[in-house]
Amino acid sequence: MSTLRKIDTRIPRTPLLWLAAALVFTVPPMFGTLSPWVPALFLVTLALKFWMEPKGYRLRLALWKLILTTAALAAIFFSYGSLKGIEPGVSLIVVLMSLKMLEAHTAREFHVMVMVAWVLCLCGFFLAQDLSIALCLLIAFALLLVALLQFHRGPSRNTWWPPLRTAGILILQALPVIALLFLFFPRVSTGFRLLMTPSSSAAAGFSDRMSPGGIASLASSTEVAFRAEFPDGKIPRADVLYWRGVVMSAGAGMEWRARQAPAALSPSALRPPAGETTRQRITIEPHGEHWMFALDWPVQPPPGALLAPGNYLWSYQSIRKPRRYEVRSFAQHPDKNLRQRERDALLEVPPSISPRARELAQSWVAANADPRVIVISALQFFRAQGFRYSLSPGEYRKNDLDEFLFERRVGFCEHYAASFATLMRLAGVPARVVVGYLGGEYNEFGRFLLVRQSDTHAWCEVWLPEAGWTRVDPTSVVAPDRVNLGFDSFLERRGPSAETNTGAFARGWARQPIFTNLRLAWQTLNYTWDTRVLSFDAETQEAFVANVDLTKVPPLQLSVSVLLGAGALYALFVGGRHFRTRSREDRVKGLYEKFCRKAARRGAVREAWEGPAHFANRAMTLLPNESERIGRLIDAYLKLRYSAQVPAGVFEDLTREVGAFPRGKQ
Amino acid sequence: MFAKACHPAHRARVNNAADAFTKQICEVIVGKADAVKLAVACLLARGHLLIEDIPGVGKTTLSQALARSLGLAFQRIQFTSDLLPADILGNSIFDRELQQFVFHRGPLFSQVVLIDEVNRATAKTQSALLEAMEEDHISADGVTHELPQPFFVIATQNPQHQIGTFPLPESQLDRFLMRIELGVPDRASERAMLLGMDRRAMLKELKPVFTPETLLEIQTAVRQVHASGALLDYLQDLLDASRQRHSAGLSPRAGLALLHAAQAWALMHDREMVLPEDIQAVGVSVMAHRLGHDLDQPGLSGRTLADALLHSVPVP
């Protein structure tokens, strides 16, 4: 038995290595989307294969295969609760591929593995479509090609470069076809974004409720929230980059929430005011909620959204795929009137607020009843009473305003915004909380602003007579740099004493100009990929096709482009011919091989090791009718291939003689 | 037979001289045209020749015929197990009149050295030959002495299973461009030999075919025979294959030997370029003694391995 085991190893090591390399590159999209055990099992079996193959071990018994397959099916069922759907389906393919690796040992099975691996590449795109994933899968695809090439080249040629080059050439040749298919192949309306699984687009970012600790938990998330371009070229200063997300006007001390399904503002409020505007083109990442972001103040909602009370954009459908829209923001708030009913609603405070907080607010009113002075007093309170800004302020007992205001005095932006708004209401000033993003990282290469989840911020708006709604950011009093520098720089500025000092060193390195530039370039590429490739859906395609409609092009332009195109093709043709004459040796060889094929059909088969003169002699005796032609032919061939100087016309002789050599019957 | 288009005049002359040389030796060694041609190719390629066979098939006769026909001064050394390096290189002897040591040159100082039964000598003597064969000079008593030019070693040896032989080390074997075997003549040739003149007498009758200048001209012409890229591809494929298959593959020196021998072979067949067939014709003689030491395949002779190599590496 043991001797038997060692004999039938039939998959050579080099192609197996290429295949393994390719398989490793198919793994990244699986992490984070599939149950972690699935890619882990995949990698383990891959490693196992390399341990087993030299020893000749493999999965043989049908019973074992049956048991393992059943176990895998059960594991998938228990992990996902079903065998239907994208993720269980992909998991199934991955697991079966792992088992196949354990049993594979013939040439046929090697082919099966390569084919399944190609399917895995495709499945990778079902799971994620980032640029990095796409690059990974492209590498995997190319490596599979190399593995297949290497497998067919046989074991005698173990150099790694030729199959790699051939694979590269094949892919380059495929590029025009890829481009054509990309541009013109009809597609479903979602473009390349395939989000068939609601679970994978789980809510990212903040929700319609704000309670202590909610935003702080986002502070470490580097996920992209959205990207904004400024088509007019006006980039606002960092300290006014307040991106409105949602306005929360129902408050209870430290906890605030927004309206579930807001009604649209009355059309009168949508009248654009005079003054400066900032145009923004925003590409939003899916977050599962309804908010769409804009700088202060948006007045006209983009298609598919409404302007909710509080002047924030509210999408009719929750955002589950990336969306691109354009919005204009006005420097001035459009509405200068606050009706009594609205005013009452904005002054509501729950009865649970403690007398101590009420007294504090009343003391400011007693000092000066002017709302502006009250706001200043409140900010003065935060500044003077030793409040601290902290990412991890610790747990507060639910809704305990007093603990924050009078005892601990440590908080994150949501603590300040919530307590400030509550205090304003207690002092009789209409106030609300706005949750959104502050700042962002401007990318010089791509000319866009990248806003991450860690830029999430909460601030307040108070109603001042005459001025209307006015933004007040109590956090800026406690930690001014947070507003002026942006979140990352703010953390860095705080130095090693900051809570996140573990990453301070790495962060310092990441701030080196070269890394910053690389990072920005990478972000730009990602952005381009998202906006140009992934968002190329049916609509965009239609618009594109309509654009290239030839009937609309002026005839002169059309003829010029046709001429130019033909010229380019001709240049390519001539270049190609030039290139070919340089490798005439290959053409001579090709002609000789053609002659050998023709001779073989007539019974004179050349052995691979046989030299040309030797073969010609044999062929002349085997095919006496053609002996003269063979003599002339081989004479020309030997001169072309082996001699130092080739007289003119010999190549043409060879071409003619090979062409004239009768093909004969099979 | 093919591709004789370019005929520089002197190539024809060179070729005629080589032909005459071969013909003369074939008169002495009957029925062994192939072996003789290989031997001639070896000398024209400026290589040392090793002739291996059982006693009595004409090894010494062939070597003597070659030496005499070359028209060069030659010496014969019979190797025995008690032969010492000084016996072949020479001795320093004290001269009373001059009051100093004077080096007396040994039999190695000759243009052609015939070594009979080279594998009967001990390793010490064999290694003394090494320097002479590769460097064309010898060292004795710390002084380097140049050997006369041209310098050929034509050695004969008995198969190694015979009693009283010391196998030549690989380094020594590698310095022989070719090893050829004669084998027993076929029936008709043997009859001709039995009826014909005494071989010893014939040897004495042999006249030199070449002047030293002609020999030099031929040897220069050999190196000028064209080896194209395609041919070198084939040659290198052979070398690569030997290195992949055998623990001791062919050395770069073996590659050069193969090329030079094939060039000589092509010239002898009146061709201005080397064909893969030339390499195949000289291949076994050049490669067999170099491949015979494969530890992985102790049962197979070098001849079998070389033959297998030539019959499996495709001609590109």
- pLDDT on residue A139: 93
Tell me the shortest Cα–Cα distance from A614 to chain B, in angstroms: 7
CB contact under 8 A, A641 and B6: no
Q: Is residue A86 part of a domain?
A: yes
Quick one: closest CA in A to B271, which residue?
A643
The reply to whether A351 and A478 lie within a common domain is yes
Indicate if A433 and A392 belong to the same structural domain.
yes
Q: For residues A308 and A225, state if they share a domain.
A: yes
B2 contact residues in A (CB cutoff 8 A): 613, 616, 631, 634-635, 638
Indicate if A43 and A167 belong to the same structural domain.
yes
Grade residue B299 by pLDDT with cuts at 50, 70 and 90: low
A368 falls within a domain: yes
Confidence of residue B105 (pLDDT cuts 50, 70, 90): confident
Q: Give the per-residue pLDDT at A666.
A: 43
What residues are paired with A227 via a beta bridge?
Answer: A283, A450
Same fold, B1-224 and B225-316: no
Percent of chain A with pLDDT over 70: 86
- B208's CB contacts (< 8 A; 6+ apart) are B68, B69, B70, B71, B72
Question: Is the same domain home to A159 and A39?
Answer: yes
Residue in A611, A644, A647 closest to B276 by CB: A611
In this predicted structure, which of A251-265, B3-17, B167-181 has the lowest mean pLDDT?
A: B3-17
| Residue bearing tokens 């590029």 | A175
Contact residues on chain A for B275, CB-CB shorter than 8 A: 611-613, 638, 642
Q: Does A609 touch chain B (CB under 8 A)?
A: yes
**CA-based nearest residue to A432, from A411, A463, A401:** A463
Out of A589, A608, A638, name the one closest to residue B2 (CB).
Answer: A638
Residue of A nearest to B312 (CA): A609
A614 and B312: CB-CB below 8 Å? no
Are residues A46 and A129 both part of a single domain?
yes
- From A161's Cα to the closest Cα of chain B, the distance in A is 17
Phi, psi of A363 (to 5 degrees): -65, -35
> For residue A87, what pLDDT band results from cuts at 50, 70 and 90?
confident
Point out the least confidently predicted range of A271-280, A284-293, A505-514: A505-514
Q: In terms of Cα–Cα distance, which of A144, A72, A82 is closest to A112?
A: A144
| Per-domain boundaries in chain B | 1-224, 225-316
Q: What's the pLDDT tens digit per position in A324-364? A: 888 888 877 767 777 787 888 888 888 778 888 888 888 88
A639 in reach of chain B (CB within 8 A): yes
Same domain? A121 vs A262 = no
* Confidence (pLDDT) at B8: 57
Within this chain, do residues A618 and A557 fall inside the same structural domain, yes or no?
A: no
In the predicted model, is pLDDT for residue A563 greater than 60?
yes
- Worst-scoring range by mean pLDDT, A52-56, A282-286, B40-44? A52-56
B contacts of A613 (beta carbons < 8 Å):
1-2, 275, 277
Residues of B in contact with A643 (CB under 8 A): 3, 6, 226, 228, 272-273
pLDDT (mean) for B107-136: 83
Question: Over the stretch A142-182, which tens digit does the pLDDT of each residue have?
Answer: 999 998 888 887 665 557 788 888 889 889 988 888 888 88
Question: Are B275 and A643 in contact (CB < 8 Å)?
Answer: no
User: Please, what is the average pLDDT of chain A?
Assistant: 80
Domain identity same for A355 and A387 = yes
Is residue A71 assigned to a domain? yes
Contacts of A5 (CB under 8 A, 6+ apart): A55, A56, A57
Of the listed ranges A116-125, A132-141, A435-444, B261-270, the least confidently predicted one is A435-444
A648 contacts chain B (CB < 8 A): no
Q: Do B277 and A639 make contact, defined as CB atoms within 8 angstroms? A: no
DSSP letters spanning chain B: --------HHHHHHHHHHHHHHHHHHHHSTT-HHHHHHHHHHHHTT-EEEEE--TTSSHHHHHHHHHHHHTS-EEEEE--TT--HHHHHEEEEEETTTTEEEEEE-TT-SSEEEEESGGGS-HHHHHHHHHHHHHSEEEETTEEEEPPSS-EEEEEE--TTSTT--PPPHHHHHTEEEEE---PPPHHHHHHHHHS--HHHHHHH------HHHHHHHHHHHHHSB--HHHHHHHHHHHHHHHHH-SS---HHHHHHHHHHHHHHHHHTT-SB--HHHHHHHHHHHHHHHHTT-SS-TTS-HHHHHHHHHTTSPP-
Domain, as residue range, for A112? 2-184
Among residues A501, A521, A540, the one where a domain terminates is A501
Looking at the structure, tell me whether residues A135 and A270 fall in a common domain.
no
Start-to-end CA distance of chain B, whole Å, equals 21
Which of B69, B79, B107 shows the shortest CA–CA distance to B164? B79
| Residue of chain A whose Cα is closest to the Cα of B272 | A643
Are A642 and B273 within 8 A, CB to CB?
yes
Number of A/B CB contacts below 8 angstroms equals 66
Instruction: Please state which CATH number belongs to domain B225-316.
Output: 1.10.8.80
- The reply to whether CATH 3.40.50.720 applies to domain B1-224 is no
Look at residue A259 and tell me whether its pLDDT is greater than 80. Answer: no
Q: Does the pLDDT of residue B259 top 90, yes or no?
A: yes
Number of domains observed in the structure of chain A: 5
pLDDT tens digits along A471-512: 888 888 887 777 666 666 665 555 444 444 445 566 666 667
DSSP SS3 for A606: coil
What is the pLDDT confidence band of residue A201, given thresholds at 50, 70 and 90?
very low
Q: Which residue has the tokens 């009355």?
A: A266
For residue A189, count other CB atoms closer than 10 A to its CB: 8
Is A616 near chain B, with CB under 8 Å? yes
Q: Given this model, what pLDDT does residue A143 score? A: 92
A267 pLDDT more than 70: no
Answer for the pair A494, A246: CB distance below 8 angstroms, yes or no: no
Q: Any bridge partners for residue A408, and if so which?
A: none
Q: How confident is the model at residue B294 (pLDDT cuts 50, 70, 90)?
A: low
Q: What is the ipTM of this complex?
A: 0.82
Q: Please name the residues in contact with A422: beta carbons below 8 A apart, sequence gap of 6 or more.
A: A251, A252, A253, A254, A349, A353, A357, A401, A431
Contacts of A644 in chain B (CB under 8 A): 226, 228, 272-273
Over its C-alpha atoms, chain A yields an Rg (Å, rounded) of 36
A397 vs B41 pLDDT, higher one? B41
CB distance B186 to B175 below 8 Å: no
Q: What is the pLDDT of residue A4?
A: 36
Question: For residue A478, with 0-12 CB atoms within 10 Å meaning exposed, 13-18 middle and 19 or more buried, which class applies?
Answer: buried
Q: Evaluate whether residue A96 is within a structural domain.
A: yes
Asked if residue A510 is part of any domain, the answer here is no
Domain end (from A277, A306, A338): A338
Q: Which of A610, A611, A643 is nearest residue B272 as measured by Cβ atoms?
A: A643
* Residue A106 and residue A45 share a domain: yes
A645 touches chain B (CB under 8 A): yes
Worst-scoring range by mean pLDDT, A212-216, A551-555, B261-265?
A551-555
In this prediction, residue A117 carries a pLDDT of 92
Tens digit of pLDDT for each residue in B201-258?
Answer: 787 788 888 787 888 888 888 888 888 888 898 999 888 888 887 777 888 888 999 9
pLDDT tens for A421-450 read 888 888 888 888 898 888 888 887 778 888
Under 8 Å CB-to-CB from A46, ≥6 apart: which residues?
Answer: A20, A23, A24, A98, A101
Amino acid A480: pLDDT: 76
Interhelix angle B59-70/B9-28, rounded to 10 degrees, is 140
Q: Do A585 and B5 touch (CB under 8 A)?
A: no
Mean pLDDT is highest, among A61-65, A134-138, A415-419, B152-156, for A134-138
Q: Tokens at residue B113, please? A: 């050295």
- Domain-embedded: residue A638: yes
pLDDT for residue A322 is more than 80: no
**Is A309 a domain residue?**
yes
Q: What gap in Å lies between CA A416 and CA B162, rounded to an integer? A: 105
* Nearest in space to B49 (alpha carbons), one of B40, A311, B58: B40
Task: Say which range, A265-274, A506-515, A642-651, has the weakest mean pLDDT.
Answer: A265-274
Q: Please indicate, yes or no, whether residues A573 and A604 belong to a single structural domain of this protein.
A: no
| pLDDT tens digits, one per residue of B65-91 | 888 888 887 888 888 888 888 888 888
Residue A145's pLDDT is what?
Answer: 92
Taking the CA atoms of residue A422, residue A424, residue A426 and residue A431 in that order, the dihedral angle to the nearest 10 degrees is -70
Q: How far apart are CA B119 and CA B165, in angstroms?
A: 5
